[in-house]
Structure 1
Amino acid sequence: MGDRIPVTVLSGNLGAGKTTLVNHLLERSGDRELAVLVNDMGDVNVDADLVAAGSDLDVDDGVAELSNGCICCELQDDLESAVTRLARERDFDHLVVESSGISEPAPVARLFTTESRAAARYRVNGLVTVVDARLFVDAFGGDEVPERRAAGEDERPLSDLLVEQVEVSNVVLLNKADLCTEAELETAEGLVAALQPDAETARTEFSAVDPAWLLDVERFDPDAVSDLPGWKRALDDDGHGGDGDHRHPDEVYGVSSFTYRRRRPFHPERVADLLRSLPESVVRSKGTLWVADNDQRQTLGQAGSSVRVTAEGPWVASLPAVEQDLYRSNRPDLDWDDEHGDRRTELVVIGVDMDEANVRDRLDDALVTDAEWSESASLPAGPFPGSTGEDAVLREP
């Protein structure tokens, strides 16, 4: 086993802080050479771009991405191919697999524990789940252990997936601990202990942990048996009830997603009002916003009632022509429109029992009209930052 590459499988609920953790590990990797595979719902892998932006690696050079699916089921072949290719083409010390917020970790781990091309090159080092501590307590906080429905039942709540993720974990990070009281954190720790007694628990803020503690300690034991119920039952019965009747989490947990793309800017005030009043069914939205009369590419990060936008840098189309040409020559794959350049809105919206048509209509209503577009310089600036690196909080829990 010593010559095989250790792999850490990272899971957690939507918006809990998985990508923040990956960037934290990359920035503080020390002498370690880390490779990262990012899986996201939707056909735009926003997390892969954010991970690459937070490191010295390019998406094609150490940060691999799998989009528009879930690696616990229909992307299994892609996952195996991606990690095998990484091992063949790059020298690195440790692989981190960041699964999407609706992926079940057991099938992902099983790829590395059964006979496969991936298992021949890798060994599982640990299964790590990141949870939003406050949401975890709100979902499950009570005197009883969270009750789970049978795997074959329809319409299991999304909270069941969080239970699945915690049950098979070796490490649970109770993230956003600064937003919880001591009593709430103790409740969260008790819930984790009830669901998975063998898991180590750590309280974190902004997913900050010691990389050595998380990556250098081998916690996954394929011969271990835990009482309630640990990884073994999940892996042995395929993590889906043992009858092979696995349905994608989209169907089981009521999760759906869509990608919203437009080559027309948003009205600054209307889109701000929309983002502040998203329906509760929208669990997560993230991506790039084009806001009228703002040269900055705005990155949206929304998780539940928290909405934040960050100015990630100027649109290439807003730069002087010489700089545009230089940038485009170095990025031949840049999505470029003859009229608008790289300016565009590209969002992934994830929800539970979400009315997609209604959300799309509301987004469309927030776009500038033809008359407003022709007079965009006179529009109000709205709350969106105008300098690279600045951010704005549009809504807080």
Structure 2
Amino acid sequence: MNTDTGEEIPVTILSGSLGAGKTTLLNHLLSNAGDRTLAVLVNDMGEVNVDAELVAEGSELELDDGVAELSNGCICCELQDDLETAVVRLARDRSFDHLVVESSGISEPAPVARLFTTESRVAALYDVDTLVTVLDTPAFLEAFAGEERPERRGDEDDRPLSDLLVEQLEVSNLVLLNKADLCSEAELSEAEELVRALQPDAETIRTEFAAVDPDRLLGADLFNPGHVNDLPGWKRALASADGDHESDGSSDHGHDDHGRDGSGDGDHRGHHHPDEVYGVSSFVYRSRRPFHPERLADFFRDLPRSIVRSKGTAWLANNEMRVSIAQAGPSVRATAQGPWIASLPEVERDMYRSNRPNLEWHDEHGDRRTELVFIGTDYDESTLRAALEDALVTDGEWETDLDGPFPTEQGDEAVIREP
């Protein structure tokens, strides 16, 4: 495809933590581009270290306005300004068939994909082809399934490696299990299981030194803009459990006692809906009774390593914020998303409810509820459910002041557990 034709230019977006093999992959693609002319947009030419044999004679990566002409006709660019400006300028000034974007300053591919798919001057020029995550497979297993040990950090980011990996994986179309030569067959199978649990639709390819057929990444047409927000495995598990909940005739409306035996205010037992994915399963926990904040924090601090991912919204006693909880391996973080609608003044509350006719509403508690998804392997679900039940407030604690580490102001974040 030539940019002079006015057709949209396909884009492959790469992500992966430091040392996973992105630079090796970029060099491999440039060396094996065939008849394609590639433009590779990278964050830092010094970090990328494109193979000197690919660089046009005399350029020696002395960039002219951030662009190096490579000997095979490809273009390599450094991201000197914002991404939107860079890709528009590339399409205007250069002729190429396919754009590969990798920026170490952006930890996961979804924000980049949104730039290319939302209404903008960029979306009119480009078409996202595939979101690719390159995994350092031994490090991935270490973060999620190995023995507990200090984690290595990701690209220019102060979050734990497990956080970065999960965010990259959950929106990927294609995952390269790189450094496969450093893993046993059993370890590679385990890595494939974990990837499928986090993102069921992702294709996986085992690679050594990021050697992969370029056709698997360029022109694969795996990206669907309408599905990017529905890809994560935890969303699938929650949606599936919702369907099970709606079909089984149970209801948590109209109950006015706070019994903890499951016969009172509804479905805090949750609805078991195993999502078997090559030995990895999930379950959803729901409750119409708030948690004691310190006991819930203790629950997540003691969460077994067999739980690789948990995510959802928690109702905390004496906290009018909807608190989202995101656990990835040994990392647990909580964010105050905003107030419960039930806590708003009556006029505002009624307005919100009228605009959301499908909102589940409890006669007494309104929209306050807990919904948490847990994904893992070889865990004892009954033990985890019992521990969650024990973390709920007792009748005597319901209206008392309770302290805990969770945020109480919208937008604030708290680290509940660090690696």
TM-score by length of 1: 0.50
Larger Rg: 2
